[in-house]
Amino acid sequence: MSLGDEELLAEMRSALDLVQAASDRMRRQVQRARTTKEDRGRLLSVTVGGHGELIELTFHGDAYRQLAPAELADLIVTTATSARDGARRAAMAGTAQLTGDLTLLSDTARTAGSVDELVEGIVGVVTAAEDRRRERRSAS
């Protein structure tokens, strides 16, 4: 293995260690996270965990009893969906915060709005490193 290859390998290992540390921090943060959303009429609040799992449904007062079954079901589903979307946005915001110190990650990874975009950004780092290695070889 040439010196350039060893340097690239060391750079990639270092980047991987940083990404793994950030991933571990994010995993712990998501496990502790809670997101609560209340419907517009303030009849119901829904709390979900960091993975979007339902933690708690709370009805405020008795006004929900006046709703038709279909309306009540829609209220629950809509509020739970809002809470899950909020949890997803919070998790992705946390990803940007946790990976912000990883200078090797592309802007795509740091500003990812989904896990797919995060993976694309990380793959971009590896691809760019491989391109740099090829350029160094062709320049030699």
**Among 82, 83, 74, 99, CA closest to 19:** 99
From the number of C-beta atoms within 10 Å of its C-beta (0-12, 13-18, 19+), residue 87 rates as: buried
Is the pLDDT at 54 greater than 90? The verdict is yes
pTM: 0.61
Percent of the chain clearing pLDDT 90 (strictly above): 36
Is the pLDDT at 55 greater than 80? The verdict is yes
- Tens digit of each residue's pLDDT (9 = 90 or more) over 70-108: 999 999 999 999 999 998 888 777 666 565 555 555 565
- Tens digit of each residue's pLDDT (9 = 90 or more) over 104-122: 555 655 566 666 776 777 6
Neighbours of 90 (CB within 10 A): 16
CA separation, residue 133 to residues 4, 13, 66, 83, 119 (Å): 7, 15, 68, 45, 21
Q: Which two tokens stand for residue 30?
A: 């998501």
